[in-house]
């Protein structure tokens, strides 16, 4: 039993085991609109991932906001004006956004 636990711990250390966990849940978010006065039309579900070291989409300097980047990536991927029912999770050194694309 101890040997199995030691092998598992060693494997996790070598492979960089990570657990995906939610860090933020919001009703709506957008990197292109500052207001949601006019409700959009729900589109498809969208998921996007942005990892540390990926080329920035929004940031123009060394201060890269990972949430900003993953939200913009999801908007561009889906053609959404904004995202609704948003869940942002961390998975290792990456952020993952799952949402409904609103057009």
In what side-by-side order are the strands of the sheet with 94-102? 21-29, 82-91, 94-102, 42-51
What is the reported pTM? 0.79
The whole-angstrom separation of Cα 64 and Cα 77 is 19
Q: Are 98 and 87 in contact (CB under 8 A)?
A: yes
First to last CA, the chain: 54
What would you report as the CA-atom Rg of the chain, rounded to the nearest whole angstrom? Answer: 17
The tokens for 73 are 């990536």
Give the pLDDT confidence of 45-102 residue by residue, as tens digits. Answer: 999 999 988 989 988 877 778 999 999 999 999 999 999 999 999 999 999 999 999 9
């Amino acid at each position: 039993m101890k040997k199995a636990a030691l092998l598992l711990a060693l494997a996790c250390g070598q492979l960089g085991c990570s657990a995906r966990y939610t860090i933020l849940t919001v009703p709506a978010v957008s990197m292109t609109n500052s207001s949601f006065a006019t409700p959009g039309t729900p589109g498809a579900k969208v998921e996007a991932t942005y990892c540390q070291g990926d080329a920035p989409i929004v940031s123009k300097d060394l201060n890269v906001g990972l949430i900003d980047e993953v939200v913009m990536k999801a908007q561009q991927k889906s053609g959404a004006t904004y995202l609704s029912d948003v869940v942002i999770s961390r998975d290792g050194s990456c952020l993952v956004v799952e949402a409904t694309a609103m057009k």
